[in-house]
Amino acid sequence: MVDPHVYPFLVFSAFILVLLAFDLGVLQRRAHSMAMREATMWSLGWISLALLFNLLIYFAYRDRWLGEAFSPLSGTDAALQFFTGYLIELALSVDNLFVFLLIFTYFGVPGRLQHKVLYWGILGAIVLRLIFIVSGALLIARFEWILYIFGAILVYSGWKMMQQQEIEVKPEKNLLIRLGRKFFPVTQDFATPRFIVRKDGRMHLTPLLLVLLTVETTDVVFAVDSIPAIFAVTREPFIVFSSNIFAILGLRSLYFVLAGAMGSFRYLKVGLSLVLIFIGVKMLIGGFVHVSIAISLGVVVTVLSGSVLASLIHKKKHGPRS
The tens digit of pLDDT for each residue in 259-283 reads 666 666 777 778 888 888 888 888 8
Residue 1 pLDDT = 44
pTM for this prediction: 0.79
**Helix spans in the chain (H):** 7-22, 36-62, 75-107, 111-142, 146-163, 175-183, 207-233, 237-249, 251-258, 268-284, 293-318
Confidence of residue 125 (pLDDT cuts 50, 70, 90): confident
Nearest to 302 by CA among 96, 53, 86, 87: 87
Domain boundaries, the chain: 4-317
Query: β-pairing, 196-199 with 202-205?
Result: antiparallel
Give every CB contact of residue 95 below 8 A, 6+ residues apart in sequence. 268, 269, 272
Please report, as a single letter, which amino acid is at residue 151. Answer: G
Give the percent of the chain with pLDDT over 70.
Answer: 86
pLDDT over 80 (residue 309)? yes
Burial class (CB in 10 A: 0-12, 13-18, 19+), 115: buried
Q: What is the pLDDT of residues 2-46, one digit of tens each?
A: 455 677 888 888 888 888 777 665 555 565 566 777 778 888 888
Question: Which amino acid is it at 78?
Answer: A
Q: Which stretch, 30-39, 129-138, 160-169, 176-185, has highest mean pLDDT?
A: 129-138
Other residues' Cβ atoms within 10 Å of the Cβ of residue 300: 22
